[in-house]
Structure 1
Amino acid sequence: MAPEPLPVRCHVVTGKGGTGKTTVAAALALALAADGRHVLLVETEGRQGIAQLFDTPPLPYEERRVAVTRGGGEVKALAIDVEEALLEYLEMFYNLKRAGRALRKMGAIDFATTIAPGLRDVLLTGKIKEAVTRRRDGHRVYDAVVVDAPPTGRITRFLGVTAEVAGLTRSGPIKTQSDGVMAVLKSPQTAVHLVTLLEDMPVQETADAIAELTGAGLPVGSVIVNMATEPLLPEEQLERAAAARLTGADLAPALAAAHVHDGTAIADALAAQAVEHAQGWAAQDELRDEVAALDLPTVELPLLPGPIDVGALFELAGRLEEHLRTEVAA
């Protein structure tokens, strides 16, 4: 049996640099692909971060399977090459494939994307829209498309540049294509998810991006708090340490009972670490309140030990699956 259709089919993942948005995008693709779904994971920045996460060779400009999930689902990945996307665009709308190849030899494509930086984003969003709406034998090829998008600082511009291009012409293939892209990106089948850390700057950038996206009429999805840590102390001791009321003298008797050599110095060092940890946790908790005030669905992903590999991606995907089920039920 075919899986139930998803209410959101285009998931755009953004976040301040360093928040782990590529990792979250990959985990989200795995979560969406569970139970037999087919998902495309798209990379837009040319860093080959997806290939590194799934431990595969660098991705060419073609859709390749990178993972199989529960129930026979699969994740394919695509690293969009701007030059190839432009050639594809010229062939699709103007039947100029041969001319496009000649332009590439002349270096005209690099020249065009340099003097018109917005052209790059138009090609990227156009390819994303094509994947979201693609059909074969009357059925959608992908149940969902996940986009590892540019950072929050330019996400609104990235998603909205096609609308600007559409405003430059009243008719023709460019106008039609641009309108089609914006119809998908501004529809309920798209959601822009924001990845943040419980740190001042990422949380502030997240709030700013939400305001910009909302103002531009782009649909905001969830806030994903990445690399969240758990407190190492019980609540009562945590509050005491955060108030700097925990000292080495409080820990010294236990160390002495354990016959720890030079227990006083160790007790002082341990108390200092406990106070630092507790105060850091208190600061994170305040930022949790700020994230909650954004009034969006929120999920926390844990800080995992060691490097992120495929096993770690599936662990994060499990957390995101729970969140997705909650959102669908709501």
Structure 2
Amino acid sequence: MKSKIRILIVLLGIIFSSVISEKEAYAQQGNISLQVFYDELSPYGQWIDHPNYGYIWLPDAGDDFVPYSSNGYWVLSTYGWTWVSEYVWGWAPFHYGRWDYDNRYGWFWMPDNEWGPAWVTWRRANGYFGWSPMRPGISVSLSFGRKYDRDRDHWIFVRDRDLQRRDLHRYQVRRNEHERIIRNSVVINRTHRDGQRRSTYVSGPDRSEVQRIIGQAVRFVSIRDNNRPGQSMSRDQIKMYRPKIRVSTDRDHRPVPKHVSRPENVRQHQLDNIQPQRQNNQQYKRSDPPQRTKTENEKRSEEHKERKK
């Protein structure tokens, strides 16, 4: 009898400790700042202080790297079309922040605090689907505007039947065809509202339309939270680190990269990598509002503008 009681006490202790650890993990997520990006991405690229954007990250992914093109593919989750990256660091820059292109540095990423399935805008043309990374300062509503197609070299187009291919980079349309496609395309302005995070995402192409085009069912993929940086894909589930990032209000204690490279010491890219020329062969591994407030990148942009005055 005593032995049974001891076993019961041990089991209750294990259950209680697991519940406590889950609560602690959730509480810690709410206390995470942009510092997690500065620290976790440093081994995979360089941080520099940009005169217009503040701290930006340049990935060490090769001269032919293109965001939402290299080493990744699309799956459909309950949030909309979701980018699955095969870079070990892919959990961060494809789901937070914004990408932009610089003639000196190539593609660079600016961190922000809002998670999303992918920060891109979508277009539909006869026989094609296309997407383009949202630039810093561009919201979901602004990305639906008519003028947002001006950076036409930033767009990636594939035949609509090829949208779900895992080797997506092999099926991308050549850049010299973009003008014709964009001229005959329309913006896909479908969105998904995430009530828990109080965020709105661009959900992309309609599931029923994609199913009709490819002639088979498009399965939904679930997203499960991971408690440490990284992401992995197994069958119909993505396990991903996607913490709620705290917005910093204290200017004197803002998160900063521990190492910031001087612009003159950053190697200039050697290839016009607005669009990919070949698949990047870098080694990678899969690792296991009521009222709107200003985002981190908006606050930093305002501060940098003030400094320049």
Query: Which interval holds the TM-score relative to the shorter structure?
Result: under 0.3
Q: 1 or 2 for the larger relative contact order (CA 8 Å, sep ≥6)?
A: 2
Higher helix share: 1
TM-score by length of 1: 0.24
Report the structure number with the largest CA radius of gyration: 1
Higher strand share: 2
TM-score by length of 2: 0.25
